[in-house]
């Protein structure tokens, strides 16, 4: 009557939610399901749109389950940074595929903003929280032949082990293998068996343990809690003082949520792979995507290109081999996403495995659109027992055009936020651009994301550049390309010295601390068309340059905070006046 969940009662009574659930069932306290009345009580509603309620024993349950074979798809719950509409796309496609194959599909989700909660997406919709208690009650009523946990992101994935322990038939990758990929120690052991590289790493459950292991690993380190999505509470720390502060402020360290420490790979290229494996062991690589921003920027915030625009054919082939090996070792059935980092050492590409997610990723809709292969549908059928061959899935698709995914940020709505990109995800959406060249695809993606790239013929054509020391060589090439397009380059003293020494015209402008007129004055006076600002990852360096990024945001000046993003933008600006239009149908016709 008061609406307390089993978990909340267990916490208050200092027992387990399992014991509370057993006591509730013994007392015959179970929910019944009612249909949302779409007919204003004038006549019976046939809309299979259900919600739970606790009523007196013997109350009518309106779920009316049938005897057909059923598949339950668990959705992702509320949208938030790190878990958005991309996962709902996968849930909807899974429901569509199962309906097409004759199954009765049941969706469990609680977000009215999504397509999966439309009344006609599935045969029945349970508008319920994606929690263990609610899912178990629905399973008890519907008695499905299978439950799909791979498509709703981290929320349903966390329930997999508990659901299996309670007798729920999970289809696809087993919960134990899901845990093997999520558990750092088990996953590291698996990679050692496969002779695959991983950045030096450790797991810590106390502050003292973290400091001790950090000394062994060496700084800088990427630190984050385990079992999270969207890089929440993730940071790059450069010294012991930063790590001590992180452990105190950002993370509750316990045996339930240990902290992961990884050696940060400087100047590494990151890439994503989406793959599908069936029960026969065949692996289909949906797509290899090269990130435009360097490793250290969250994959959800980084633009990416399919096919890769920089990686060599040999490196791509090795990435595919490693992906297939991990899919086999984890006995994946369905979707899998792998994140790699590629670092050049002595002129050779060295591939590191960052993480494996045996579930749908936020890149699945992008890969499906770019290649014409509906990965979510294909993987759902694999989970239901069909092989890739039986579905007619042949050779891997490498499109003859470039597709670029770009993140959409909410910075305009939050003018006080720092626009610098890092390991914690900040984007709330994504767009896609397609072109014959990488530059054309990138500039289309920028336009789609609402990023206004300047033209040299605009009334304001000055580009401001201030970069960290490691980026100055690349900044020279950027400045040279901008001048060739008739832009005027202005820079702070250190960056200007590097540019001028290379023979590229450049005007020096003051930093905020060097007296007026300074760069913030120029931005506020609408004298700057674009800002390129990269900083050392240390907190004081980020704070020192924050005024530049904040004033740029308020003045609606396009800003790039990574050197790789700036390079891609300058390459794309060459195509600003020569953009063609291509439809999805025309794109996919080229793949036949």
CATH of the domain at 227: 3.30.1490.20
Say if 113 falls within a structural domain: yes
Domain that holds residue 544: 429-573
Within 10 A of 26 (CB to CB), how many other CB atoms are there?
A: 8
Say if 12 falls within a structural domain: no
Residues 98 and 162 in one domain: yes
SS3 27: coil
Residues 442 and 560 in one domain: yes
Residues 80 and 216 in one domain: no
Give the tens place of pLDDT for each residue, 510-526. Answer: 887 777 888 888 889 88
The CATH number assigned to the domain holding 157 equals 3.40.50.20
Residues 44 and 150 in one domain: yes
Q: What are phi and psi of 235, to 5 degrees?
A: -145, 160
Residues 164 and 240 in one domain: no
Which residues have a Cβ under 8 Å from the Cβ of 390 and sit 6 or more positions away? none
Q: How far apart are the first and last CA of the chain?
A: 59
The CATH number assigned to the domain holding 366 equals 3.30.470.20
> In the listed set 220, 242, 263, which residue is the last one of a domain according to the structure?
263
Residues 436 and 569 in one domain: yes
What is the value of pTM for the model shown? 0.87
Residues 324 and 449 in one domain: no
Residues 217 and 294 in one domain: no
Say if 6 falls within a structural domain: no
The CATH number assigned to the domain holding 454 equals 3.40.50.1380
Residues 560 and 435 in one domain: yes
> In the listed set 171, 186, 209, which residue is the last one of a domain according to the structure?
171
d(CA 145, CA 68): 10
Regions of the chain short of the pLDDT cut 70: 1-2, 38-45, 56-58, 81-82, 226-233, 249-257, 537-544, 592
Say if 419 falls within a structural domain: no
Buried b (16+ CB within 10 A) or exposed e, 420-434: bbbbbbbbbebbbbb
pLDDT at site 254: 46
> In the listed set 353, 383, 399, which residue is the last one of a domain according to the structure?
399
Say if 185 falls within a structural domain: no
Q: In what order do the strands lie in the sheet with 558-560?
A: 507-508, 488-491, 462-466, 530-533, 558-560
Tally of structural domains, the chain: 4
Residues 381 and 471 in one domain: no
How many CA atoms does the CB half-sphere of 466 hold within 13 Å?
Answer: 25
Say if 189 falls within a structural domain: no
Residue pair 487/453 in contact (Cβ under 8 Å)? The answer is no
Say if 232 falls within a structural domain: yes
Say if 424 falls within a structural domain: no
Residue 237 is encoded by which pair of tokens? 């720390």
Residues 469 and 497 in one domain: yes
Within 10 A of 468 (CB to CB), how many other CB atoms are there?
A: 18
Q: Which of 494, 488, 491, 489 is nearest to 468 (CA)?
A: 494
Q: What are phi and psi of 466, to 5 degrees?
A: -145, 120
Residues 97 and 38 in one domain: yes
């Amino acid at each position: 009557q008061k609406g307390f969940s089993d978990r909340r009662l267990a916490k208050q009574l200092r027992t387990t939610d399992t014991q509370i659930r057993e006591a509730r069932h013994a007392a015959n306290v179970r929910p019944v399901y009612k249909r949302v009345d779409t007919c204003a009580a004038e006549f019976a509603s046939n809309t299979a749109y259900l919600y739970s309620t606790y009523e007196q024993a013997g109350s009518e349950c309106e779920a009316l389950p049938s005897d057909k074979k059923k598949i339950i798809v668990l959705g992702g719950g509320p949208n938030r940074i790190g878990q958005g509409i991309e996962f709902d796309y996968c849930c909807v496609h899974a429901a569509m595929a199962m309906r097409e194959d004759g199954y009765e599909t049941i969706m469990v989700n609680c977000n009215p903003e999504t397509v999966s909660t439309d009344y006609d997406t599935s045969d029945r919709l349970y508008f319920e929280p994606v929690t263990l208690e609610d899912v178990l009650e629905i399973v008890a009523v519907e008695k499905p032949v299978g439950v799909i946990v791979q498509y709703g992101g981290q929320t349903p994935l966390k329930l997999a082990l508990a659901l299996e322990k309670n007798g729920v038939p999970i289809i696809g990758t087993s919960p134990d293998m899901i845990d093997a990929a999520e558990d750092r120690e088990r996953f590291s052991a698996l990679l050692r068996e496969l002779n695959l590289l991983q950045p030096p790493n450790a797991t810590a459950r106390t502050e003292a343990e973290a400091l001790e292991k950090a000394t062994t690993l060496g700084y800088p380190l990427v630190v984050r809690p385990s079992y999270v999505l969207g890089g929440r509470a993730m940071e790059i720390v450069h010294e012991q003082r930063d790590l001590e502060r992180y452990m105190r402020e950002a993370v509750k360290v316990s045996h339930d949520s240990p902290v992961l420490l990884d050696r940060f790979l400087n100047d590494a290229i990151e890439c994503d792979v989406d793959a599908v494996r069936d029960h026969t062991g065949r692996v289909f690589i949906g797509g290899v995507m090269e990130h435009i921003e360097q490793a250290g920027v969250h994959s959800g915030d980084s633009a990416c290109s399919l096919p890769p625009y920089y990686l060599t054919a040999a490196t791509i082939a090795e990435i595919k081999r490693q992906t297939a090996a991990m899919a086999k070792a984890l006995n994946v059935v369905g979707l899998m996403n792998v994140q790699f980092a590629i670092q050049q050492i002595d002129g050779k590409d060295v591939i590191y495995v960052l993480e494996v997610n045996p579930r749908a990723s936020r890149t699945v809709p992008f890969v499906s659109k770019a290649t014409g292969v509906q990965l979510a549908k294909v993987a759902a059928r694999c989970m239901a027992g069909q092989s890739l061959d039986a579905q007619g899935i042949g050779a891997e698709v490498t499109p003859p055009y470039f597709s670029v995914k770009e993140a959409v940020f909410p910075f305009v709505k939050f003018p006080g936020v720092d626009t610098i990109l890092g390991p914690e995800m900040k984007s709330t959406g994504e767009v896609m651009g397609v072109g014959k060249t990488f530059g054309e695809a990138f500039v289309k993606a920028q336009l789609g994301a609402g990023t206004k790239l300047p033209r040299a013929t605009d009334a304001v054509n000055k580009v401001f550049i201030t970069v960290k020391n490691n980026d100055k060589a690349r900044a020279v090439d950027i400045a040279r390309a901008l001048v060739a397009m008739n832009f005027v380059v202005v820079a702070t003293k250190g960056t200007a010295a590097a540019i001028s020494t290379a023979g590229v015209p450049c005007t020096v402008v003051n930093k905020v601390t060097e007296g007026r007129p300074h760069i913030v004055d120029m931005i506020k006076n609408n004298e700057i068309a674009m800002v390129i600002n990269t900083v050392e990852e240390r907190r004081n360096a980020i704070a020192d340059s924050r005024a530049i990024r904040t004033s740029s945001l308020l003045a609606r000046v396009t800003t790039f905070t990574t050197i790789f993003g700036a390079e891609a933008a300058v390459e794309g600006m060459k195509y600003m006046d020569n953009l063609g239009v291509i439809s999805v149908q025309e794109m996919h016709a080229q793949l036949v």
